[in-house]
Structure formats: C-alpha cells, structure tokens
Amino acid sequence: MASVALYYNKASEWKKTLADGTEVIRTCAWSPPGCHGVGCGLRLYVKDGNLVKVEGDPEHPITKGRLCVRCLALKEYIYHPDRLKYPMKRTGRRGENKWERISWDEAYDIIIAKTREIAAKYGQESIIVFCGTGRQAVRFQYALATMALGTPNVCYSQSGWSCKGPRDTACLYLLGAGYTEFDYAAGLPGRYDDPEFVLPKYVLLWGKEPLRSNADGTWGHALIEMMKRGTKVIMADPRMNWLATRSEHVMRLRPGTDTALALALLHVIINEGLYDREFVEKWTHGFEELKQRVQQYPPSWAAEVTEVPEEQIIEVARILGTAKPWGLCMGLACDQNPNGVQLTHALIALAAITGNLDVPGGTVVGRPMVMDFGSNAPLPQELMDKVIGQKEYPALALLLNTTHPDLTLDTLETGKPYELKMAWISSTNLLAPTNSAQPKRWYDALRKLEFIVATDTFFNPTIMALADLVLPLSTFAEHDGIVLNHQGGTMGIIGAINKAIRVGECKSDLEIVMELGKRINLEAFAGEKWENTEKYLDNELKYLGMTFNELREKVCVQQHIQYYKHEKGLIRPDGQPGFNTTTGKIELYSLMLEALGEDPLPYYEEPRFSPVSRPDLAREYPLILTTGARNYAYFHSEQRQIPSLRELVPDPLVEIHPETAAKLGIKDCDWVWIENLWGRCKQKAKVTPIVKPNVVAAAHGWWFPEKEADAPSLFGVWEANVNCLIPHKEIGKLGFGAYYKSIPCKVYKAD
Ligand SMILES: Nc1nc2c(c(=O)[nH]1)N[C@H]1C(S)=C(S)[C@@H](COP(=O)(O)OP(=O)(O)OC[C@H]3O[C@@H](n4cnc5c(=O)[nH]c(N)nc54)[C@H](O)[C@@H]3O)O[C@H]1N2
Ligand SMILES: Nc1nc2c(c(=O)[nH]1)N[C@H]1C(S)=C(S)[C@@H](COP(=O)(O)OP(=O)(O)OC[C@H]3O[C@@H](n4cnc5c(=O)[nH]c(N)nc54)[C@H](O)[C@@H]3O)O[C@H]1N2
Ligand code: SF4
Ligand SMILES: [Mo]
C-alpha cells in the first residue's frame, strides 16, 4: 500500500479534567446507536462515571462541532430504562416476553455447546450469521462466522442485496475500483480552501438525500458548505425534498425509470459531442459500442417513459457535458431497483466520458478497502462452496462473501440444498420493515431453527420473536474502536472511538467475537492481535504506521485524497497507470458483465409491475409506492423508544399528494391502509405536494416499543410494516436490486 499522507489538528488533548472533576473525552462516533461509519466528532462530559452531557467537537476537522439529533440524544439512548445490560436467556416460548439474567460465562457455555451440537449433527453450514448495514458489527461478522462458528454463511437479508450492491458492482466492473463519491475535500487539510481543491460547479444527486442520510460516510453538510460557495445541485428524485427546493434542476422522474433517464442524458451528450474526447480516447474501452447503444434512448422517448420533460433532459445533459468539474452522488434509489446495475453503469459512464472522474471537485474514485474484515482464517473450500446462492449468482460472490438474500429465505423455507438450524443475529432487526421483503415469510422460516442468538442494545421484535439468548452490546461511548468514513475506501478521516463510560455488563462486537472465539476455536484466535482490544486496533492501524494510543491522542486524522489515481498507478495492484480491469481502461463495454452472462452495455428495463408493464394491475393498484426515504430522527428501525427523537417523528408517515388525497377522501393525519397483491400495512397520511400525484412515499423501519411485546403483537411489528408489500425475489439478472422504491399499491382510509 502506498504511503498515506495524514493531517491532524494539533488541538486539545483527547481527555481532560475540569475543575469540578468532570472529565471531557473527545471521540468519534459510529455505533451503536446505528449510523454508518461517518465518524463525527463528539465531546462526552463524564461525572462520577456517568455521561452528563454530549456536544459536538469543534476541533474535529470535518464536522467542526456539528451533530445530528441522534448523536445529541445519546444520553437518552444510553440510560434508557429498557436498555439491555446483561446477557438474557429465554425462559418461556419464543414470542413470550419471559427472560432471566445469566452470566457471560453461562451465555458463552450455552452458545458453544449448541454450536458444537448443531455442527456435529447437521454440518457447519447449518449455522448462519445475519447482519445489517454498515455498523461496527460488519467489521466482525466474518470473523464471527468463519473463525468462531465455523460457517461460511453470512447473510445480509435485504432482497436483491439492494444497498450498495449495484453501485459497488458497477464501480468494480467498470473501474476496478472501490465506491466512488463526489469530492467534498474531506481529506484535504485546507478543505474547500485547499490549493488542491476545485469547487464543483455542480453536484448531481441521484436518488440520494445526503443531509438526512450521511450515507456510508458522506457528510451531507459538506454539500451545503459547497452550495454556499457557489456549487449548484441537480437532482433526479420523484420527491421535492428540502434540497430539491434549492436545486437548479430537479428531474422528477417516475420511480424506477431511472435508467431510461440516465441513458437519455448519455444520448444527448454523446450525439452533441459534449464529451471529453481526449479522456475517452485514452482511458475508456467500448465508447463506440456505448454510442450505438444509446441511440435507442433519445430524450423524446425518455420523456414519455420517465415523465421528465424532454427539454429538461436536454438542458441537464448540456450542463453535465459542459460544466467542469461536477461530482456524482449516487444514492440508494440506484440499488433498490432490479435495473440498478445498468443505472450505475450509465451514471459512471456519464461522469467518465465528461472527464469528471478523479479530478479535483469531481467524483473521487474509491480505493480498495484498506482494512481487513477479520476473516483471516478461510474455511476449507468444500465449505466455502456451500455458501447459499453463490453458484446461482456468481456476481454477488465476486463482490461480497455473503449468501444471496432471497435464496437464503428459499433455503430456510425448503431445507434445500441443506437445512439451516442455528442463527446468530447481529446488527439486524429484520422483521421490522428493514432487511427483509415479505417479513412474515422470514418470521415463519426462522421460527423453525433450533437455536438463535442475538446481540443488541434493546429488545426488539426480531429478538422477541426468535432469539433464545441475547447478549447486551455497548454503545460507542462505552468501548474503544476505530472509524473510517467510507470504510477507508474513498477518502476522509480515521477517527478514534474513545471509551468514556461503562454500562451494566455490556460488551462491544469486537469483545464478544474475541472472547467467544478464544473459547470456541483457540487455534484461530491465538494470534497476538486477538489478545485484547488494543492489540487488535494496533494491528488495524499498522498500515498507517500508528498505534491505537497514538490515534487516540490525535482523536481524528485526515487522510490525503489522491486525484488522477489512474495516471499515477494508484488503482492497479501492479502499480501501472490505468484502471484495474481486463483492458486497463474504464470498461464502458464491460467484459466482466459479458463474462457473467449479462449485457455488457447498459439497457433499460421497465419495472415489471408498473402501469406500463401491467396495466391489469394498475386498475386495482394505480399508485406507485416508494419507501424508506431517510429522516433525521431514526437510523432504520432504531431509536423509536427515544422520547426526544420520537417527538420529532411520532408516527409512520405516508406522503400523499393533495389531489390524490382529495380523490380518495383522505385528510392529513388520517390513518390509511397501503395495499397491494403481496400485503398491506397501516400508516398515517401526510398530505403534501412534495410527492407527485401518482406516487406515495411510505416510511420503513417502524415498530412500537410501547406496544405489547408478546406475540402476536411483537411490539406491533406487523401494523406499519411496509415490507409486507415488497415482493420476494423480483430482482435483477445478476441477483442485485429489488423494488423497494417502485411497486404498485392502492391507498384507502382505515377505520
Ligand atoms: N438518518 C438516517 N440515515 C441513514 C439511514 C437511516 O435509516 N436513517 N440509513 C442508511 C442506509 S443503510 C442507507 S443505504 C442510506 C440511504 O440514503 P440515501 O441514499 O440518501 O437514500 P434514501 O433516503 O432512501 O432516498 C434518497 C432519495 O431517493 C428518492 N427516491 C425515491 N424513489 C426513487 C426513485 O425511484 N428514483 C430516484 N432517482 N429517487 C428516488 C427519495 O425521494 C429520496 O429523496 O442512508 C443511510 N443513512
Ligand atoms: N421498505 C424499505 N426497507 C428497507 C429500506 C428502504 O429504503 N425501504 N432500506 C434498506 C436498507 S438500504 C438497509 S441497509 C436495511 C437496514 O436494515 P438493518 O441494518 O437490518 O437495520 P435494523 O433493522 O434497524 O437493525 C439494526 C439492529 O442492529 C442494532 N445495532 C446498532 N448498532 C449496532 C452495532 O454496532 N453492532 C450490532 N451488533 N448491532 C447494532 C440496532 O439496535 C438494531 O436492532 O434496511 C433496508 N430496508
Ligand atoms: S451522521 Fe451519524 S455519527 Fe454523525 S452526528 Fe449524525 S448520527 Fe452522529
Ligand atoms: Mo442501506
């Protein structure tokens, strides 16, 4: 790995004691409570071992004191009366709220005995680890599965791996690189005033709202800073959100038709000759083929398909073809679409042919991950060959070492190709409408398992329904760790997570893996790095030539951004200039896609259940449902029990246009049913012109900690469960992308 230039503020010490004995600890945030690894700076005030105050750290190089409400509510979360503080063993039936406190020793003994018994009876592959989105647990899920439990099966259960899977696939196949993101100068010491930085003229936000989501390490407020300095925003979004009202263009497309719009933009740029000839000639493969392909997709056609006016498509294309630099910011709407790999393919092509890839103020090409994910003890090949769905969907296997989500449900239901018997649920509450489609099927299928362990901070519907044993997790204020925004892929910071307090007997994901690992498979965990947390973190930081204690002292360091990495030989492992693809160029015509039996060029697929594909369905279900647009109060299914956050968003809201609401006799704040052929749920109507008349936008992640815990209620988990309406296994050809953001429905007033 090339040496990395680091910068840090020679700021205050990481810990100091005030005159009254209060300690102030500077730290960087991750999880729990859930957030992606963004690493915002906090000051934690601790008096007599208790957290008494949280504020933003003005000395953090990026956040400079800014914090979201979720971090500001940390104290409420940590000391909530329902917080899990001790290992708990179920004493009643599954679904009954009956538990007893046990010791960690007893918990580990039970887990080890069960793991050994089940593996001996049914094979190691009968064990499966479930995980959710990029919280700290993702760093340890492979070590937990392969090294401690001896199974190759790690499952991220969202249908079609519809989060980052398609975006990462296109980045890997076209560029041979990690995830790309718009440049916001995160790794430059002078930030926007740094001599290396150029302010983007535009940022193209495609199905992403970074102010609310700060997704995968992107700081939304950076965009606002750049807008203040003159950056303009163009959006592709069916909803008119706050950012949209401040954008120069909002292409308000029909949900799910994104690829048609992106292809039409390419059509205009290519046919009007607005691309960067020199870059295309030197660094891309397959431009002529792409040019041929986009002839099928003129803006007049796209206007009909997408509902975006033809003139607007042409105008946006001309801006993107002439304004330099501009940054590309792709969001979740690129993934939650079976046509999403083709969409991200087209968008990366757009950034590439206009000469905006890896230039200052453009789109930063991601480096490969810099840290290992702990799985340094591969299992025997015959076990690895058993990972569910790897044969059916090899593209997924190339990208990630996980099972295929939809095929995992099939396996649970059918026992084919083998029976699953034990699960470890870590960082997912999949029955709540998050990492599932058709959650009632997951519920029935998982109930058949012999033994289920979960780790979490609170009881939730999934644990109440399924777990036999629960291990209590510490929050990021209660343990040491490291956080890298974008997991170290694209740019930015490396932050120390500094332990400030202790609560009950809670432990971190790392501590649990380490302790269990040494008891169950000492050989695999014998190495020095597994001795204790500090040694493990030291090992992770080796590539920077720094120990954890040194990072702790600095609290947060910036990692220099490198531009023009393809020219400097910083993308390919052989150190040669170019991209890490077969041709060494950006493969607009992708040889990887071709080898996998997919079309090597981007194409449009009309959503399978749309009014165009299925006019028969449209009569009964005339509206298009999009789900899950993020809000400030919650990270997925988390925080519903935190009073100050619940006050911000007390109910699950479905946005309905005033004209549509009037036709349906629905008033603001009425409870309504949202229904389609796969299921229904109840949410509260928010009558608002921010959605188009033919679109409704519903919330995901809802359950009600205040409602009855025992089954069948399970904290009311089925009531507002929008994933009951999302079909199973309606995914893209490579196995990626499902219809979470474009599925037909009808809406009617509930009694
Ligand atoms: N506060 C908070 N932050 C989060 C999360 C959270 O739960 N809460 N979750 C995290 C996770 S795992 C992720 S993946 C990210 C996701 O975060 P983002 O990538 O920002 O995605 P969303 O918020 O789901 O949606 C972004 C926009 O897509 C629009 N949209 C809806 N349907 C379509 C469509 O068909 N096409 C287009 N072009 N746009 C559409 C929505 O109107 C919305 O404005 O957020 C992360 N950050
Ligand atoms: N309808 C619809 N559904 C969606 C989405 C949508 O837009 N629409 N978005 C989807 C997306 S993109 C994603 S990524 C998934 C996310 O889905 P998940 O990542 O599965 O999120 P949750 O279901 O909230 O479960 C997370 C659990 O992990 C716990 N937790 C928090 N921090 C940690 C930690 O550090 N370690 C461990 N071990 N546990 C922790 C939390 O308390 C919580 O119970 O949801 C998906 N579901
Ligand atoms: S983005 Fe995440 S870590 Fe940063 S302040 Fe918001 S909730 Fe906290
Ligand atoms: Mo996600």
Q: Which atom, in ligand 2's list, is nearest to the CA of 455?
A: 38
pLDDT at residue 701, as a whole number? 98
Mean pLDDT of 654-675: 98
d(CA 158, CA 405): 6
CA of 260 to the centre of ligand 3 (A): 34
CA of 741 to the centre of ligand 1 (A): 9
d(CA 734, CA 166): 9
CA of 219 to the centre of ligand 3 (A): 9
d(CA 274, CA 353): 9
CA of 568 to the centre of ligand 1 (A): 34
Which chain residues have CB less than 5 Å from ligand 4, an ion? Answer: 133, 163
Query: Over the chain, what is the mean pLDDT?
Result: 95
d(CA 365, CA 379): 32
Tell the residue nearest (CA) to atom 42 of ligand 1.
Answer: 239
Q: Which residues contact 410 (CB under 8 A, 6 or more apart)?
A: 416, 729
pLDDT at residue 2, as a whole number? 44
Residue 371: pLDDT over 60: no
Tell the residue nearest (CA) to atom 20 of ligand 2.
Answer: 428
pLDDT at residue 401, as a whole number? 84
Q: Which atom, in ligand 2's list, is nearest to the CA of 157?
A: 20
Tell the residue nearest (CA) to atom 6 of ligand 3.
Answer: 68
Identify the nearest ligand to the CA of 485 by its number: 3
Mean pLDDT of 153-182: 94
Mean pLDDT of 79-101: 98
CA of 169 to the centre of ligand 2 (A): 21
Residue 40 Cβ inside 6 Å of ligand 3? The answer reads yes
pLDDT band at 709 (very low <50, low <70, confident <90, very high): very high
Residue 29 Cβ inside 6 Å of ligand 3? The answer reads yes
Q: What is the pLDDT of residues 319-350, one digit of tens each?
A: 999 999 999 999 999 999 999 999 999 999 99
Cα radius of gyration (the chain): 25
Mean pLDDT of 81-106: 98
CA of 488 to the centre of ligand 4 (A): 17
Reply yes or no: is the peptide bond before residue 650 cis, omega within 30 of 0: no
CATH 3.30.1050.10 fits 615-749, yes or no: no
C-beta neighbour count of 246 within 10 angstroms: 13
Asked if 99 and 108 touch (Cβ cutoff 8 Å), the reply is no
d(CA 725, CA 744): 9
Asked if 496 and 551 touch (Cβ cutoff 8 Å), the reply is yes
CA of 631 to the centre of ligand 1 (A): 9
C-beta neighbour count of 47 within 10 angstroms: 13
Q: Which residues pair with 236 in a beta bridge?
A: 206, 251
Tell the residue nearest (CA) to atom 45 of ligand 2.
Answer: 434
Residue (of 636, 476, 648) closest to 74 by Cα position: 476
Residue 598 Cβ inside 6 Å of ligand 2? The answer reads no
Identify the nearest ligand to the CA of 435 by its number: 2
Q: How far is CA 662 from CA 290, 579, 595, in A?
A: 46, 54, 52
Element (H, E) at 112: helix 104-122
Q: Which atom, in ligand 1's list, is nearest to the CA of 134?
A: 12
CA of 213 to the centre of ligand 4 (A): 10
CA of 427 to the centre of ligand 1 (A): 19
CA of 335 to the centre of ligand 1 (A): 10
pLDDT at residue 260, as a whole number? 98
Identify the nearest ligand to the CA of 427 by its number: 2
Pocket of ligand 1 (CB under 6 A): 36, 133, 163, 206-210, 212-215, 236-239, 241, 255-256, 258, 331-333, 626, 628-630, 632, 634-636, 741-742
Rounded (10°) angle between helices 509-520 and 104-122: 60
Residue to substitute in 138, 630, 638 for testing ligand 1 pocket (most ligand atoms within 8 angstroms of CB): 630
CATH 3.30.200.210 fits 6-82+476-503+526-559, yes or no: yes
CA of 384 to the centre of ligand 2 (A): 26
Q: Which residues contact 661 (CB under 8 A, 6 or more apart)?
A: 667, 668, 685, 687
Parse the chain into domains and list their residue ranges: 6-82+476-503+526-559, 88-161+382-472, 165-368+573-595, 615-749
- Amino acid (1-letter code) at residue 136: Q
Burial of 227 (0-12, 13-18, 19+ CB in 10 A): middle
Tell the residue nearest (CA) to atom 12 of ligand 2.
Answer: 163
Residue to substitute in 80, 84, 429 for testing ligand 2 pocket (most ligand atoms within 8 angstroms of CB): 429
Q: How far is CA 386 from CA 381, 437, 659, in A?
A: 9, 24, 53
CA of 121 to the centre of ligand 1 (A): 43
In terms of pTM, does the model score above 0.85? yes
Mean pLDDT of 166-179: 92
- DSSP conformation class of 577: S
Residue 733 Cβ inside 6 Å of ligand 3? The answer reads no
Q: Which CATH architecture has domain 165-368+573-595?
A: 3-Layer(aba) Sandwich (3.40)
Q: How far is CA 109 from CA 201, 469, 470, 519, in A?
A: 59, 12, 13, 9
Reply yes or no: is the peptide bond before residue 705 cis, omega within 30 of 0: no
Q: Which residues contact 199 (CB under 8 A, 6 or more apart)?
A: 192, 226, 229, 230, 231, 361
Asked if 67 and 75 touch (Cβ cutoff 8 Å), the reply is no
pLDDT at residue 368, as a whole number? 67
Q: What is the pLDDT of residues 256-291, one digit of tens each?
A: 999 999 999 999 999 999 999 999 999 999 999 999
Q: What is the pLDDT of residues 402-434, one digit of tens each?
A: 999 999 999 999 999 999 999 999 999 999 999
Give residue 387's region: left, alpha or beta (phi > 0; psi -120 to 50): beta
pLDDT band at 1 (very low <50, low <70, confident <90, very high): very low
Residue 700 Cβ inside 6 Å of ligand 2? The answer reads yes
pLDDT band at 295 (very low <50, low <70, confident <90, very high): very high
pLDDT at residue 9, as a whole number? 72
Residue to substitute in 636, 703, 721, 741 for testing ligand 2 pocket (most ligand atoms within 8 angstroms of CB): 636
Asked if 656 and 688 touch (Cβ cutoff 8 Å), the reply is yes
pLDDT at residue 616, as a whole number? 96
Mean pLDDT of 687-712: 98
Q: Which CATH number fits domain 88-161+382-472: 3.40.50.300, 3.40.50.11810, 3.40.50.740, 3.30.590.20?
A: 3.40.50.740
Residue 376: pLDDT over 90: no
Residue to substitute in 36, 133, 213, 742 for testing ligand 2 pocket (most ligand atoms within 8 angstroms of CB): 133
Asked if 718 and 440 touch (Cβ cutoff 8 Å), the reply is yes
d(CA 732, CA 339): 6
CA of 639 to the centre of ligand 3 (A): 13
Residue 372: pLDDT over 70: no
Identify the nearest ligand to the CA of 339 by its number: 1
Q: Which atom, in ligand 1's list, is nearest to the CA of 237?
A: 39
Tell the residue nearest (CA) to atom 23 of ligand 2.
Answer: 429
CA of 378 to the centre of ligand 2 (A): 27
d(CA 351, CA 587): 13
pLDDT at residue 398, as a whole number? 80
Residue (of 269, 306, 260) closest to 287 by Cα position: 269
pLDDT band at 462 (very low <50, low <70, confident <90, very high): very high
Mean pLDDT of 14-42: 97
Element (H, E) at 234: strand 232-236
Sheet holding 481-484, edge to edge: 6-7, 556-559, 492-497, 481-484
Q: What is the pLDDT of residues 468-514, one digit of tens each?
A: 999 999 999 999 999 998 877 776 899 999 999 999 999 999 999 99
Token pair belonging to 6: 């680091």
Residue 633 Cβ inside 6 Å of ligand 3? The answer reads no
